[in-house]
Structure 1
Amino acid sequence: MSQIVLKTNASIQEIGAARWQALAGNDNPFNSFAFLHALEQSGCVAAHTGWQPQHLSVETETGELLGVVPAYLKGHSQGEYVFDHAWADAFQRAGGKYYPKLQISIPFTPATAPKLLTKQDAPSSTKSLLIDGLERACQQLNLSSAHATFLPPEDLELFTEHQWLERHDRQYHWRNQNYQSFDDFLAQLASRKRKAIRKERRTVHDHGLKIEWLSGKDIQEHHWDSFFAFYMDTGSRKWGQPYLNRDFFSLIGESMGDKIVLMLAHDGTDYVAGTLNLVGRDTLFGRYWGCNQHIPNLHFELCYYQAIDYAIEKKLQTVEAGAQGEHKIARGYEPITTRSAHFIPHDGFREAVKDYLDEERRHIALDQELLKGYTPFKKE
């Protein structure tokens, strides 16, 4: 390879939409320029929010972009969904300074997405150069650690080859087995589970609600106004300070509306609940939910069953319904393992974290096997 240049970029705009998107592709909406730029443009991601952009790029000496990584200097551990608060506490009690750290992730998004984005014809060593660059940035900035979260297997393999520590966690995803209808899916469930789901859906239907699927230009500002009110209510109750502002939703509606499915429940007078989904090549990603009145089972209907309906109709293979939630198992969502990788320069701290992660992975694996026995599908 001719001489290459590693750079950190204080905004995604420094790299540019066309250049970034040529590497990101169109399979996953979260690592797209439109999504990441909206986070920065709206001010949700910035130094004052504890998410200072520090995107890494690899270029040739003539300026040809070979690879990029979405990366941030983090002043806290909020909005990541891979929890390291105990690590921070231990490091700081030992006299170290845990923050800022380097975070390789999609802010506020617990969805697996490629992080090592490279040009199709880039040299095979480009991804390794990106990882080397992340390590170098971590060391030159005297950071405690670097964390690459929600990695696909191919990215994880490269990080672990560089001796980053592997961490596992759990989510619940629905898989489309070439179903032609929701009833086809229900037919694969045990009778008791099938009846329970039908009862939940009937409860919502009996309230006379109409549920709309909106995408692209069909999403108007008044729809975002309603949804944002739901989002703020849920966010305030769950974690005190919602991460996203109203501008962010208008920006993604304008720049990537064709990748958005806004599902809103209407009672004949007003919208009463909604959920936001993003569409990838073969996956529907459920993200945010909220409501302004309690209607039994409406959360399950909008977040899980409507998502299944949409995936079946559009022939998508997977529904990712976000973080946490063992209650999803009874509704046909199966436990899957999510993965992250962690770079810790300090030898003693690294060994302590490694021991912890070795034990944690064993527990996750045992839990996964146990949880698979609780899925609602018919037992052979």
Structure 2
Amino acid sequence: MAPPDSFQLEILDRLSDIPSNDWNALLPADAGPFLRHEFLSALEETGCVGGNTGWQVAHLLLRDDQRLIGALPLYLKQHSYGEFVFDWSWAQAYEQQGMQYFPKALCAIPFTPVQGSRILSLSGDGIDASGVARRLIEGLKALVLQNDLSSAHVLFPYATELEALKEHGFMLRDSVQFHWHNQGFENFEHFLSALTMKRRKNIRREREQVARELISFRHIPGESSTNADWEFFYRCYANTYLEHRSSPYLNEAFFKLWAQRMPENLHLIIAERNGSPIASSLLVVDPTTSKAYGRYWGAIEHVPCLHFETAYYQAIEYCISQKIQTFEGGAQGEQKMARGFLPKTIQSAHFIADPQFAKAVKHFLDREHQGIGAYVDELAEHSPLKSSKVQP
């Protein structure tokens, strides 16, 4: 590996300007689908980030001569939407002191609260991965300080990366998600047998409620999906935002491009009544890590419990049939626990440029950490699972 003074940091404002193979070569084996060039560049090419979205693309690259050896997926943010780690109160307090909180630097996967690698490094060939990480973190802090940005935020990185960030003055913040774990279940009934009687009866009642509506389900692997499937899915997805008086982060062009580029990672579930589709949900599947991610759901007709059936129970049945070990249900949602999901604490890392404000944030995070610890302990008392692990 070349001496450190030969390293060159640069900002990339369009991922398509570098070959996909060069970017993907930086990803660890367990990186998952969301860090891939195909996914991130699709967001850019369809206008979901960049332009006037408040997500200015600014990927931080590290080169050794001309060879790309490291990177951070990085954005300059003009707001805090689409992050799932909420710092609006920080922004308000910052601006009350006469300072500008936005833009801020955000190292994350847009609109995707999934834990994974954030400090990317080429492996092998004499590469010192820890040295690459150190230069990238130093480069991120320099970007903040030299451009008078308020802060840098690294969302949901792996634990080893959190330690490196902490060593460079980043503060850690807890979040709680809800994940389903496969205990070697043979079928859905076997899964139900792992739950307490109360949860088991509730799920059966909810499924029966949907069944009485004569609703059936189609499972469509990404490779078999059509434009019409994605157009209906997008109609459902957009309607969810409309019902919450909000605007969707992603557009129809993105989903169609994603399906073209990464069909092997996508699985659509469509609910139908009398052959007409009325609801849908999307799973992102990673066979390499044996994980599935529940991403989006929506319906054009209200049916009681259809959300739980389409987004949770059909997805769990799919995971059991495909022997997928973990199903991540996304951010927030205590209601997932009643459907067999368990809480998991994951962390993000935050660097605040102003020393006095950083001190105040540190006090806030210490109190929040204690509160989240108590919250997770309380959730554990209401576990949906029996005390003993069910064996197949």
Counterpart for residue 361 of structure 1? 369
Counterpart for residue 315 of structure 1? 323
Is the CA contact (8 Å cut-off) linking 2:222 and 2:268 kept in structure 1? Answer: no
Say if 2:246 is the partner of 1:235: no
Partner of residue 12 from structure 1, selected from 12, 15, 29: 15
Q: Which residues of 2 match residues 177-192 of structure 1 at below 5 A?
A: 177-192=183-198
Partner of residue 21 from structure 1, selected from 15, 21, 24: 24
Is the CA contact (8 Å cut-off) linking 1:5 and 1:59 kept in structure 2? Answer: yes
Q: Deviation digits for residues 309-332 of structure 1, max 9, x if unmatched?
A: 111111111111111111111111
Counterpart for residue 275 of structure 1? 281
Q: Deviation digits for residues 198-256 of structure 1, max 9, x if unmatched?
A: 12112212222221111233110000111111011101222511111110011101000
Counterpart for residue 344 of structure 1? 352
Q: Deviation digits for residues 321-351 of structure 1, max 9, x if unmatched?
A: 1111111111110011121000111100100
Say if 2:218 is the partner of 1:215: no
Say if 2:295 is the partner of 1:301: no
Say if 2:131 is the partner of 1:123: no
Q: Give the distance between the partners of 1:182 and 1:220, measured in 2 at CA.
A: 29
Counterpart for residue 35 of structure 2? 31
Counterpart for residue 331 of structure 1? 339
Is the CA contact (8 Å cut-off) linking 1:25 and 1:32 kept in structure 2? Answer: no
Q: Alpha-carbon deviation of 1:192?
A: 2.2
Q: Give the distance between the partners of 2:43 and 2:273, measured in 1 at CA.
A: 32
Counterpart for residue 117 of structure 2? 114
- TM-score by structure 2 length? 0.94
SS in 1 for 2:156: coil
Q: Alpha-carbon deviation of 1:48?
A: 0.7
Partner of residue 140 from structure 1, selected from 131, 146, 149: 146
Flag structure 2 segments of 5+ consecutive residues without an equivalent: none
- After the TM superposition, which parts of structure 1 deviate over 4 Å for at least 4 consecutive aligned residues? none
Q: Alpha-carbon deviation of 1:189?
A: 1.2
Q: Give the distance between the partners of 1:77 and 1:179, measured in 2 at CA.
A: 39
Moved more, 212-221 or 338-347: 212-221
Q: Give the distance between the partners of 1:187 and 1:199, measured in 2 at CA.
A: 15
Q: What letter corresponds to residue 37 of structure 2 in structure 1?
A: F
Q: Deviation digits for residues 13-50 of structure 1, max 9, x if unmatched?
A: 12321111111256311111111111000001013100
Is the CA contact (8 Å cut-off) linking 1:26 and 1:32 kept in structure 2? Answer: no
SS in 2 for 1:285: strand
Q: What letter corresponds to residue 179 of structure 1 in structure 2?
A: F
Q: Percent identity?
A: 39
Counterpart for residue 102 of structure 1? 105
SS in 1 for 2:244: helix
User: Would you say how many aligned residue pairs link Structure 1 and Structure 2?
Assistant: 379
Counterpart for residue 272 of structure 2? 266
Q: Give the distance between the partners of 1:276 and 1:188, measured in 2 at CA.
A: 26
Q: CA RMSD in A?
A: 1.2
Flag structure 1 segments of 5+ consecutive residues without an equivalent: none
SS in 2 for 1:30: helix
